[in-house]
Structure 1
Amino acid sequence: MKKMITITLLLATLNCFAQGYERFIGEAGVRVPLGNLADKIGPSPEFGLWYRCRMDESNDMLDIGISIQIPGKTKEFDYTTPDSLYRTKAKGVSGMIGIRPTKVYTIGFDLSLEWVSTFGYAFMMYDDKEARYKHRAFPEEFEESDNTSFIKSFSTFHIGQGVRLNYANVGLQVHYSYTPYGLLTDYVPRNFGSHSLSFGVVYRQ
């Protein structure tokens, strides 16, 4: 899946640069986890940087970029390995890398409305308690490495839908995201949590 996403992003990027059209989009806001995901992470600051290009002669656009969240009010959850059960929590950053096909509807007087679809790769970093335990119990296994890390990440796909209201080069947006972290790993259950809403401001340059 990662190879397919990488190839798609590469082809989309080459197509954008070939058109000689560029516009950068900066985003800042808050992501609010919903359902079971809200039991692990609270509302979190979110920042995004996107490169925009025109898809065809219409007002359809394609945004390529990254969105990063800093998990807030993290709570412990069960993390299962083949022989142990640990209690850990989100740590570091979470986010997604992907593309956003966007429909732009001009309202007039510098007003526009955008319907945004999102597809990409999502990740959530967490404190690797298993590695921490092994480091304490078997330090000789880590002596050869000077860059021992106790941070790992869950990986999954990201799909979403959102709407954005723009005035000139400033906008407000709300976006729904589906990131099923429990679907592609055996370390956490499938009902780990997948849903969230993002609210933020947008600036295009």
Structure 2
Amino acid sequence: MSKFLFLVLFALQINAQDTIVFPKVDVFKRNILEVSYGKPLGDLANKYESSITTAFYMRTKIAKKQFIDFGAELSGIVKGNGVDYKVGNENIQLDGSKSAFLLGFRYTRFLIQSKDENFHIETNSGMGWKYLHYAKPEDEIYDELDIKPTLNTIAVSQGIKIVLYGFGLHCNYQYSPYTLFNSKVERNFGASSINFGISGSWNF
């Protein structure tokens, strides 16, 4: 009798193991690297010719097909032009900008995703703190001038990206009103730019 009960319990244990359902592992790509070419628009087109931007974001899932990306972007400015800058009661011309930096986050949503999850189209709505770096003129008469002519502002952006096996193509519009917190530069300084680029994403 004891042997019979042992066999029954053993059979029930095997059957229970066969019916266990393991939850699906979420394998979305958490690390994102982007490289893009940017063109300033409107009045901002008078401040520099173009930019090359490298961005790194870390993705966190918040809902089905919805994410928050936290990261930073560093831009090299190509052919920055000098700009007028008020110091006291006089105007000086700053040397052309050579770099820009953005620290912020994006809300990402998958609009389309294939069943095997290897292809998707996503939108990115971003916000962050951005600065456009300038330097005072190198002329000796400005050596004792204590100024840090960096333009800080809040930037918002909207983009779209097409991704296949972790590699993507993206287009992004950014609005950065540089005069929002700085009245020392010309009133119509410019704020708009557009970026086109490629991206790669992976998990460590």
The TM-score with structure 1 as length reference comes to: 0.77
Please state if 1:25 is matched with 2:32. yes
- 1:199–1:69: structure 2 CA closer, same or farther, 3 Å change rule? same
- 1:22–1:162: structure 2 CA closer, same or farther, 3 Å change rule? closer
Aligned partner of 2:58 among 45, 48, 51: 51
Please state if 1:36 is matched with 2:43. yes
Give 1:151 shift: 5.8
Q: Deviations over 1:48-98 (max 9, x none)?
A: 011111012x11011000011101011122111222211123334202100
Give 1:130 shift: 9.2
The letter for the 1-side match of 2:121 is L
Aligned partners of 2:82 and 2:97 also within 8 Å: no
Q: What percentage of aligned pairs have identical amino acids?
A: 24
Query: What RMSD in Å do the two structures reach over aligned CA positions?
Result: 2.3
The 5 A counterparts of 1:44-193 are 44-56=51-63, 58-108=64-114, 110-129=118-137, 133-135=141-143, 138=144, 152-193=149-190
Give 1:107 shift: 3.4
The letter for the 2-side match of 1:73 is K
- 1:132–1:106: structure 2 CA closer, same or farther, 3 Å change rule? farther
- 1:171–1:157: structure 2 CA closer, same or farther, 3 Å change rule? same
Whole-angstrom distance in 2 between the partners of 1:133 and 1:91: 20
- Is the deviation greater in 86-95 or in 98-107? 86-95
The TM-score with structure 2 as length reference comes to: 0.78
The letter for the 2-side match of 1:160 is S
Give 1:171 shift: 0.3
Whole-angstrom distance in 2 between the partners of 1:88 and 1:111: 46
Question: Which structure's residues are more often helix, by fraction?
Answer: 1
- 1:34–1:151: structure 2 CA closer, same or farther, 3 Å change rule? same
3-state DSSP class of the match of 1:193?
A: coil
Give 1:29 shift: 1.4
The letter for the 1-side match of 2:135 is D
Whole-angstrom distance in 2 between the partners of 1:198 and 1:89: 24
**Partner residue of 1:145?**
none
Aligned partners of 2:87 and 2:184 also within 8 Å: yes
How many pairs does the alignment contain? 173
Q: Deviations over 1:7-56 (max 9, x none)?
A: xxxxxxxxxxxxxx871100001111011111011111111011111012
Aligned partner of 1:198 among 185, 191, 195: 195
